[in-house]
Amino acid sequence: MTNMTLNNGVEIPQLGFGTAAIGEWQQDDSYVSDTILKAMSIGYRHFDTASVYGNERALGRAILESGLPRQELFITSKVWDTEQGRGTADAFARSLERLQLDYLDLYLVHWPVPAYTRETWESMERLYAERKVRALGLSNFRQSDIEQIATFAEVRPTCNQIELHPYMTQKPLVDYCQFHKMVVSCWSPLGSGSWSGVSTDAKPIVDPVIVALAEKHGVNAGQVILKWDLQRGRVVIPKAESLQHISGNFDLYRFELSDEDLEAIDRLNRDYRFGADPDTAHESNKKVQVPD
């Protein structure tokens, strides 16, 4: 598995494991821990969670049970909208406690809330100075949000985790982030999970272009999409629950897409969001509570 180097020198595994809504939304039980342990057994070492996912405890239990050395793992969590501003440091402490960890590898602002961004980011900078987190980053931030941070930040964001799949390539934002040496990480890389209510036939995994490339390379459609992200220099964090899908998403290093293949996938963009829009997400996010 390959690593990418963040702008502060920390290495992040390019292929990670997403944990949002394993089983059901905010499920936190042995099924979630067992799913994560399956991913660890396949070879995943980068795990992406968030306080609002409600499953940090399950990830913490899996880490303990796995017996893997902490330094082999890369653990990301995020501060939710209702925790931002003055509550950021406490939210971070609660995440660490639930995960039973001494530090995080990456801590993200889950969604932009411009009124709180300065207070949130300055709290995160203090955590970084105290070595409680190895890198700071953003999630779902628009260019305007990143420009706001640039006016006061002493610690530069290392990454921006955004919705990105063949139907939503966000090229201008990706180009902006990469120009400013921020790694782009892709959530819902295959076009969102069952939680979204989007039917499978609307997702890029059934697009004729993707299906034809999968046949050409003797792999499945999901592998083609994930490989496209890797070859375009992005971090990707697919979620899966069955051993077959978990291992398939990890088995990306025995084939290469050509430049023509990559460009064909790039051309599929239709600016189609499966998830929430940063322009409007905060109003509904405020109603979503982080479980204890």
Q: Annotated catalytic sites, by residue?
A: 53
pLDDT tens digits, one per residue of 154-166: 999 999 999 999 9
pLDDT at position 199 is 78
pLDDT at position 196 is 60
In a domain, 70, yes or no: yes
In a domain, 125, yes or no: yes
Q: What are phi and psi of 49, to 5 degrees?
A: -130, -170
pLDDT at position 192 is 64
pLDDT in tens, the chain (292 residues): 799 999 999 999 999 999 999 999 999 999 999 999 999 999 999 999 999 999 999 999 999 999 999 999 999 999 999 999 999 999 999 999 999 999 999 999 999 999 999 999 999 999 999 999 999 999 999 999 999 999 999 999 999 999 999 999 999 999 999 999 999 999 999 986 555 667 778 889 999 999 999 999 999 999 999 999 999 999 999 999 999 999 999 999 999 999 999 999 999 999 999 999 999 999 999 999 999 8
In a domain, 106, yes or no: yes
In a domain, 147, yes or no: yes
pLDDT at position 1 is 76
In a domain, 292, yes or no: no
Q: In angstroms, rounded to a whole number, what is the distance separating the alpha carbons of residues 163 and 161?
A: 7
In a domain, 277, yes or no: no
Q: Pick the closest to residue 207 from 193, 190, 194, 219 (CA basis).
A: 190
In a domain, 67, yes or no: yes
Work out the burial of residue 264: count CB atoms within 10 Å of its CB; fewer than 13 is exposed, 13-18 middle, 19 or more buried: middle
Q: In angstroms, rounded to a whole number, what is the distance separating the alpha carbons of residues 183 and 269?
A: 20
pLDDT tens digits, one per residue of 209-254: 999 999 999 999 999 999 999 999 999 999 999 999 999 999 999 9
Q: Cα 50 from chain centroid? A: 10
- Look up the CATH number of the domain holding residue 58: 3.20.20.100
Number of independent structural domains in the chain:
1
Look up the domain containing 92 and give its range: 13-157
Look at the alpha carbons of 112, 114, 120, 124 in this order and tell me if their dihedral is positive or negative.
Answer: positive
In a domain, 203, yes or no: no
pLDDT at position 75 is 98
Q: In angstroms, rounded to a whole number, what is the distance separating the alpha carbons of residues 184 and 146?
A: 13
Look at the alpha carbons of 139, 141, 143, 148 in this order and tell me if their dihedral is positive or negative.
Answer: negative
Alpha helices in 218-252, H assignment, sequence order = 221-231, 243-250
